[in-house]
Amino acid sequence: MSLNSRALNSGVLPRVLITGLQGFTGRYMAAELEQNGYEVWGIGSSNPDEPRTLQADLTDTASLIAAIQKVQPQYVVHLAGIAFVGHGQPKAFYDINLVGTRNLLEALAPVSDQLRCVLLASSANVYGNLQGGLLNETNPTNPANDYAVSKLAMEYMAKIWAPHIPVVIARPFNYTGVGQSDSFLIPKIVSHFVHKRDTIELGNMDVWREFNDVRDVVHAYRKLIEAAPVEQTINVCSSNLVSLRDALSLASEMTGHTLNVTVNPAFVRPNEVLKLGGETTLLKTFVPDWKPRALRETLAWMIDAESKHLCQL
């Protein structure tokens, strides 16, 4: 019997706490869980308007303890953090991604007996840019910026708590979707095509990367907390590599617009590998129905949403 069926039969929904509920991934995570029989609670640093959302700050352990004592979760999906690699204050990566996660785990310790799974969202950035091809979880880590270092440090720190808290670490590769900031690559491309800009500045056009769909990522996260492969680190990836040049061609085909591309040297990483993605074997062990969308479907969704938004302006 599925988790959803058990919950409906018992009349008691399993309770999950999402950190970063108000962020890009958090909103999709909440929808995925609610549609599959969970009672969703969230915490955020701003004053929340949504029901079952509490104000708590990852840098303030006391506020986290108070929120967790109120929610009494069986599951936690930890999404809160600073995700943009170009963020201007490197110290914030460590304050939030590392120390903030430690504060969360400390706050969860008093309710550890009732916890079934705590998923921590790390990043495939921990592998760095020196290894090519499809990487699996045994590949060496080689973080190349403060964001990636903070995420890898978070992974090591979490192992200290693993004997007491059922932690699973997810390493998502690139993903995107409606609502993601256009400081990220695919939303930037979509915005430029929909708004019919003349020129776009990008980096190396001939690199191949994954551009996965946020709806698939949150589906994988739900399946992972249900499977609860405690103390494992799992790539959330598709192995579907697309070149930046092909992504631009696809956007041009779908919008009927063409633009000029200027390569900005500031966006080009030295010694960048040509092809880089994730290997899905371990993920499929716990998410056997894993069938990620192709970029064309994700782009169609994003272009449609951006076009509708433009018409409303």
pLDDT at residue 88, rounded to an integer: 60
The predicted-structure confidence for 137-179, as pLDDT tens digits, reads as follows: 999 999 988 999 999 999 999 999 988 999 999 999 999 999 9
Under CATH, which number does the domain 3-175+213-239+276-293 receive? Answer: 3.40.50.720
Supply the pTM of this predicted model: 0.93
Q: Which segments of 35-154 are extended strands (E)?
A: 39-44, 53-55, 75-78, 117-121, 133-135
Identity at 264, one-letter amino acid code:
N
Q: Break the chain into its structural domains and give their ranges.
A: 3-175+213-239+276-293
pLDDT at residue 131, rounded to an integer: 87
Contacts with 57 (C-beta within 8 Å, 6 or more apart), sequence order: 45, 63, 64
pLDDT at residue 277, rounded to an integer: 97
The predicted-structure confidence for 269-286, as pLDDT tens digits, reads as follows: 777 789 999 999 999 999
